[in-house]
Amino acid sequence: MSAPLTPPPPPHERFPHGGWQPPSAGQVAAASADGSTGPGHTGSTGFAGHGGHTGYGWYGQDGPGMRTELREAAVTAVAVALGGVLLGVLWWWLAPRVPLTGDVVGDNWVVYLKDTEGEQAIGVDGTFTLLALGLGAVSALAVFLVRRRGGVPLVVALGVGGLLGSLLAWRLGVWLGPAQDVVAHAKDVGKGVTFDAPLKLNAKGALLAWPLAGLVVHLGLTALFGPRDPDPFPPVDPYVPQRPDGGAPGA
């Protein structure tokens, strides 16, 4: 009496208990002969760290070394800080003028505000703050376009460069503005003649506008358009036999 000619189940047919039937020895030998992947095989589609080629390559996407990041961060900080020259010139050019006038009381010269209710002094601080916010956003965009990967050293360099640029702009604007000795200036122009007060930044907190704007804009750009971290759990190949615990056979 002959045995029923029932073909064996295919190697990828799932048994009721949830596991895969391991392929037969003949199938393993045939797969090894033609270079295909079998259980325990570490060929071109193996996982990283099992020998051969790195199949998915998630472990090869690390950024540059720390020395390279620090060098790029230093260059970024210097470049952003030099932008303070532009901020200083724009502040000196666009800031409102505070009118003063001189008078002689006895033998002494005194200087008064010509418009005691004017808001020009507040406008000077506001102009610096608005310009610093704009340059902070522009510098963050430029840094993001040059190096999208980001990194802690780059972000720190952006903040430090923005602060140094604000300090440079403040001192440059004061230097370009009217003379600091208002009494001598009043004597030069004469009694009762209106002249401009020296450029002064009363709200020192405006120096933080540039670095804060740069950090916020860079963070937003990185969150929206920056590279995403790779998936730590690679997708399972449905054509590769799996063990009941989810691992590959022979791993």
pLDDT in tens, 186-218: 888 888 888 888 999 999 999 999 999 999 999
Residue 48 pLDDT > 90: no
Question: Helices 66-82 and 84-94: crossing angle, nearest 10°?
Answer: 20
% of the chain at pLDDT higher than 70: 65
Is the CB of residue 159 less than 8 Å from the CB of residue 237? no
Confidence of residue 106 (pLDDT cuts 50, 70, 90): confident
pLDDT at 11 over 70: no
- Of 87-91, 97-101, 180-184, 247-251, minimum mean pLDDT range: 247-251
> pLDDT at position 213, please?
96
Q: Which H, E and C letters describe 25-76, residue by residue?
A: HHHHHHHHHCCCCCCCCCCCCCCCCCCCCCCCCHHHCCCCCHHHHHHHHHHH
Mean pLDDT of 128-146: 95
Residue 179, C-beta contacts closer than 8 angstroms, at least 6 positions apart: 185, 198
Residue 54 has pLDDT above 50, yes or no: no
DSSP secondary structure letter of residue 220: H
Split at pLDDT 50, 70, 90, the class of 157 is very high
Task: Report in angstroms the alpha-carbon separations of 81 from 87, 104, 197.
Answer: 10, 44, 27
Contacts for 224-227 with beta carbons within 8 Å, 24 or more apart?
Answer: 225/144, 225/148, 226/144, 226/148, 226/149, 226/150, 227/148, 227/149
SS3 assignment, position 181: coil
pLDDT at 55 > cutoff 60: no
Closest to 198 (Cα-Cα) out of 186, 208, 210, 190: 186
Span 170-194, average pLDDT? 88
